[in-house]
Every structure is written in C-alpha cells, then in structure tokens.
Structure 1
Amino acid sequence: MSLDDDHREVSEPLKFPMPFQARVNPHLDMLLQRSESWARAMGMLSGGGHPDDWAVWDDLSVFHTIAAPELTAYCWPVAPPRAAALLHDIMVWYFAFDDHFQCRYKVTRDTDGAREHIERLPTFMPLTPDEPVPSPRNAVEEGLADLWPRLIESRPARWRRDWKDGITRFCAGAIQEMVHLATGRVLDLVEYVQLRRETFGSYTAAFYVDISTGVTIPEKIRNSREIQVLLDSFMDYMALSNDIFSYEREIDDEGCATNLVLSVQNLLGGPLPQAVSIANDLVSARLRQFEYTLDVELPEAAARLKLNDAERADLAAWVEGASDYLSGILAWHVKAARYRARVPLSRGERT
C-alpha cells in the first residue's frame, strides 16, 4: 500500500501552522559527537562490549535517521550542555524502546515476552536509594539504568513519582497497541487520544521542559484549570501531529491499528487525503488551544492566584520552553529522515 496511489492524492498542499519560531541549541555539535557513543555504550549499537543480540539497530544509517541530536537541539534550544546531553539520551532511549519492542515483540506477536519485558522496566526506576535494581538483560534496560539516576538527581519525591509513572504508562501503552494490533480494532477518537498520550510518552513531556529551562511551573498555579488545559493541549499537539507524519510507517510498514488518521477515516469514511486533512485540523485546534490559554487564560490565572514577580518569571520561562518544544518537534518531523517523504503533502509530491 503506498501513498502514491491515485486515490490517496490530495489537491492542495498540507500545511502545518506554527505560531512559535523554531530555534537551534548552540550545543548541537556536542550532541552530534555524543549520539553514537552513548548508544554504543548502552548496547543499542554493536561494538560497545555488550552481547551482539543487544543491538537495537544493526544498520548505523537507520540509527541516524532518528536524528536525535537535531531533535534535542530543536526542541530544547536553551538547554545548557549537561541538560542537553541528558535530554538527547532520553530521546535515544525512547526510540530504542520503540524499535526494540517492534522487532522483538510486535512482529513476532510475542505478547507474553512483551509483558515480561514491560514489567521489569519499573524496577530500574527506584524511588529510594535502598531499592534493589536488577542487572540489565538488554539495551533498553541498560539505557534506563543509566538514565534514571541522572533524571532524578536533586529532584523532589513528587517529581520522581510522576516521572516514573509517565515512563511506566508509556511502556504499558505498547502492550495496548499490541492488543489492538492483534484484534485489528480501530479506536474511536476519544479512546485513541487517551491512549496516544501514553504511547507517545506525553506524560513525561513537561519534565523535559523542567530540565531544559531549569525552572518548574510554580506550585501556586500548578493545579489550576488553566495549567491543566495548557498541558493537555501541549501533550496532544505533539502526540497527534506525529501520527500524520508517521502514518505510512505505522500503518503500511508496521501494520498498526492505532493512528489518528486511521481513527478519523474509520469514523467518517471517505478517502485518505480527507482523513489526513481533518486530522491536521484537529491537531491545529489543539495548538490554537495552547496558544489561547497561554496568551489569555494564564495571565488571568496568574493575577487571580496572586503570583509574585519571581513566580511569574518562572512561569514565563517555563511556557516559553514549552512553546520551543512545540515548534521544535514540528521542525524535526518535517526534516528528519525517519518520517521524510511519508506525508501526502500535495498532488504527486512529497517533501
């Protein structure tokens, strides 16, 4: 099945509105030098002293299509070197988990093996120093064991719990995808959006902004309705926009049954280009909600809750970091070879 089929053509180019300007982290060169070395040290690439069957990517060119250094540089342009290196390694780990899970469990339909793999991963994220940690048995476990102490360093207990919960939900979402793959069931939009927040790792996204900016959302406003709306639209834009770019990879190449475009097409019928256009409208609506909440509702909430000058400065820095993340992830999707030439942008043309 190919997006070049006549019935999949679209008459107008697909546009991706973005009100925020993408920037590039000045430490991109450092990330480019780091990328292979960290993946190899974790066993994700061969040659690092780990068993050969640990390797997630046998072909180095496939690893480089991820463009993790560019992803990091686009999404977190203000992150200092140490934070940028940590964020880069997190991104490589997420892709390693995804590609390892696809190859080892989804393709073989090994649900029991997948569940065992998923159940072990939380044991590599102890909340206290006295919790025992098992020896890694694959590159995904090795990577998580390396990342976790760096992620939680000097972080409060609430942050650690929420971070562990977000990663656990991301991993558990892969099992749900396997279930839907086995049954061929296409989720309705409400079900799908909730699942996609998990399978994209959206529940950890706010923590990346914490790491990159060095600030957190002030406690006084953290639990407000406005912040929850901002976070929901923030998570949804990233997760659902990925579905448009990854449609062919997921549906045609991997046979997945979970994708926003597929859910829209299943609900409304009609040709694929129409479903892509509607999906893009839904994604753009989430971006507009983020922008409206940022520009209109957050200032009102800050005044209502009487944030002081320091709290307002932290909130401003945090939401700017979140805006950078949104513009950066779009820029990466457009340019990364992992997804390039997989979106039906215009009649007879791909970019």
Structure 2
Amino acid sequence: MIEDMFPRQLHPYWPKLQEKTRQWLLEKRLMPADKVREYADGLCYTDLMAGYYTSAPDEVLQAIADYSAWFFIWDDRHDRDIVHRRPADWRRLRYRLHTALDAPRHHLHHPAPLVAGFADSVLRLYSFLPGTWNRRFARHFHAVIEAYDREFRNRITGHIPKVEEYLALRRHTFAHWIWTDLLEPSAGRELPDRVRKHPAYRRPALLSQEFAAWYNDLCSLPKEIAGDEVHNLGISLITHEALTLEEAVDEVRRRVEKCIRDFLDAERDALRFADELADGTVLGRELGAAVRACVGSMRNWFSAVYWFHHESGRYMVDNWDDRSTPPYVNNEAAGEK
C-alpha cells in the first residue's frame, strides 16, 4: 500500500545533511568516532527526516535532523537506564532536560553530552519562528519528557498498559505533536490556532503520526519482546486482549492500514481547507500555501517511516550478537562503563 500510494521523496540536501549530522554527533560527543563510522549512516536517521520535511530550507532541515538524531540517542539512553536499573541517573537527566528546554542558551556547555546536544539543537530550532511557537514546542516536549518518565516507571515495575492507556501514552513518547510542530518552520511560517486546531488540518496530522507509531510497533515488536519491553501495541493486545502473537500482529497491521485509508480521505479535506484559506488576500494566500506544504509533508511521513523501518539497522535484530542489546548504543552517551 505504501509503495503504491506514497511515492518516496528525498530532500536534495540529504547527502550534505548526512555528512553534517555525522560531524555534529562527533562534535557533541553523542557517539564515539568508531560508532559513527560503523553505524551512523546505516541507522538512517537523516534519511527519515530528509524523506519527511522535503520542502524545508536546508538550515531548517539540518536543525531538525540533528535534533532527531539526538532524540534517538536519548531514547537509547532511556532504555539503557531501565535495563541497568539506574533510576537516579534517569531522574537527573530528566530534570536537566526540562531545565535546558526552558533555557537552552545556558546549557550549551553542559558537561553531560546529552544535555549540551539537546540545548544546541533546541536553540537552533527556536531561531526560525516567533516565541509563541517556541513556547508551544517547549510545552509539547516537556510532556514528552514526562511520558518517558511514566514509561520508565512502567518498565521498572513490569506494568504493561491496557490498550487505551498505551495509545494515549504513545502519542507523547512518539512525540506526535513535536513532529507536527516542526512542519511549520519547514513551511516557513507559524500557523495561527484557528488553522492549526481546525479539524481539517489536525486530523491528517494525527493520522500520519498514528500510522508512524503503530508501524514502528509492528516493526520493533521482535526487538522489544527480546528486550522485555512493556510498551508496544502488540504487547498490550497480547496481555490485555488475550490475543496470540499472530493475532496481535494482524490487529496492529489492520490499524495501520485503516490509518492509511483514513489519511487519504483527510488529506482531501485538508487540501480543500487550504484552498478556502487562499481567499485572495496576501495573508490568505500565504496560509493556504503553508497548509498545503504541511499536508504534503504529512503525506511524506508515510513513505519516510516505511522505508526507515525496512532500511535502518535499528530494527535488524537478527544481525545483532545479543538481540536485547543494540550494538550502536554501547557508548558513553548511553551511560555504559
């Protein structure tokens, strides 16, 4: 369905993007040189962003890609803190990220690489749009940090959320609203609330993110079962709905396919909405063009996520020496000794 309905796109800046993100990871000490050489390109983090925000200015895409690479490394650190039972380390990092989000300039030289790298990427993202957008982004990411804390506690205690509880938490741990917020600097303008909160815009935005989260669950299920995870739609279905593994996989796939069909309907409504906004005034034309660009990126998310999961070394657990330990996270940023 994806290959037929969502042709793959890639930002022309991608080769340079890949090179500069590798350099940034080294400069910020987020991965050691040997891990960058061996794994950075194969993890396809830049491919994912270059396939999503295809109309973004180069400097915007670079800031998003570096932030995205940081996000994956933070996710790995979170996982290792759980696996190695390091609640004090996690609480310390959680506090520092909250603080850096509100005052990134004051954390650019923080001794912890994850904090300094986060501050750098956030400060760059804050440079593109007004303070109202920055405050919204910060509010949304504060919620992401707290969702990661709930996930930490769930995994430490072995609590597997019920399906609806899991889906609500997943919207934050997958950072639905963060990736949606970043559509706006990619399109070159902040959208007013009356546009951003309109159902014709909000529905396709949510569907594109739900697809990505559930497709991620589908593809990462072997990795997460091997790692004793508790946060996966398939695991919730098996535990609380008494489904077999095969039945759970079928149910997640059914939800994914429904997201695709629903998005195609919602996309048409969103494009009509963009046409209505373009009312002949300068502001109307600008808003209509911005919404059209954002909806185009929402469409790109389907193919970007699809190819990422089939090409990234992040999901090739059968090639790992230890199926529960990703080879690319045994580094200082993940707190390993």
Q: How far did 1:32 drift? A: 2.4
Instruction: State the alpha-carbon separation in 2 of the partners of residues 18 and 127 from structure 1.
Output: 45
Instruction: State the alpha-carbon separation in 1 of the partners of residues 170 and 153 from structure 2.
Output: 14
Q: Does 1:35 align with 2:21?
A: yes
Instruction: State the alpha-carbon separation in 1 of the partners of residues 3 and 253 from structure 2.
Output: 10
Q: Does 1:21 align with 2:10?
A: no
1:219-248 per-residue CA deviation (whole Å, 9 max, x = no partner) reads 442222333323322221122211111112
Q: How does 1:154-169 map to 2 (within 5 A)?
A: 154-169=128-143
Query: Counting helix residues as a fraction of each chain, which structure ranks higher?
Result: 2
CA contact (8 A) 1:221 1:305 kept: no
Q: Does 1:120 align with 2:96?
A: yes
CA contact (8 A) 2:97 2:115 kept: yes
1:141-171 per-residue CA deviation (whole Å, 9 max, x = no partner) reads 0111211221111422221111112222222
1:99 maps to a residue whose letter is D
User: What does residue 32 of structure 2 align with?
Assistant: 46
**After alignment, is 35-44 or 299-308 more displaced?**
299-308
TM (norm. structure 2) is 0.83
TM (norm. structure 1) is 0.80
Gaps of 5+ in 2: 319-337
User: What does residue 298 of structure 2 align with?
Assistant: 322
Q: How far did 1:64 drift? A: 3.8
CA contact (8 A) 1:101 1:114 kept: yes
* Aligned sequence identity (%): 21
Pair 1:323–1:121, CA change in 2 (3 A)? same
Pair 1:59–1:321, CA change in 2 (3 A)? closer
CA contact (8 A) 1:93 1:143 kept: yes
User: What does residue 144 of structure 1 align with?
Assistant: 118
Pair 1:97–1:300, CA change in 2 (3 A)? closer
User: What does residue 224 of structure 2 align with?
Assistant: 250
Instruction: State the alpha-carbon separation in 2 of the partners of residues 24 and 148 from structure 1.
Output: 24
Q: How far did 1:94 drift? A: 0.4
Q: How far did 1:205 drift? A: 0.8
Q: Does 1:75 align with 2:52?
A: yes
Instruction: State the alpha-carbon separation in 1 of the partners of residues 40 and 270 from structure 2.
Output: 42
2:267 maps to a residue whose letter is L
1:22 maps to a residue whose letter is R
| Matching residue within 103, 109, 117 for 2:85 | 109
Gaps of 5+ in 1: 1-14, 48-56, 343-351
Q: How does 1:1-351 map to 2 (within 5 A)?
A: 19-46=5-32, 60-103=37-80, 105-126=81-102, 132-133=106-107, 135-217=109-191, 219-252=193-226, 254-296=227-269, 299=272, 303=276, 308-340=284-316
Pair 1:84–1:108, CA change in 2 (3 A)? same
2:254 maps to a residue whose letter is D
Pair 1:86–1:68, CA change in 2 (3 A)? same
Instruction: State the alpha-carbon separation in 2 of the partners of residues 305 and 260 from structure 1.
Output: 40
Q: SS at 1:258's partner residue?
A: coil
User: What does residue 9 of structure 1 align with?
Assistant: none
Instruction: State the alpha-carbon separation in 1 of the partners of residues 13 and 274 from structure 2.
Output: 35
**After alignment, is 80-89 or 36-45 more displaced?**
80-89
CA contact (8 A) 1:333 1:339 kept: yes
Instruction: State the alpha-carbon separation in 2 of the partners of residues 149 and 59 from structure 1.
Output: 24
Say what the alpha-carbon RMSD is for the aligned residues: 2.7
Instruction: State the alpha-carbon separation in 2 of the partners of residues 117 and 287 from structure 1.
Output: 37
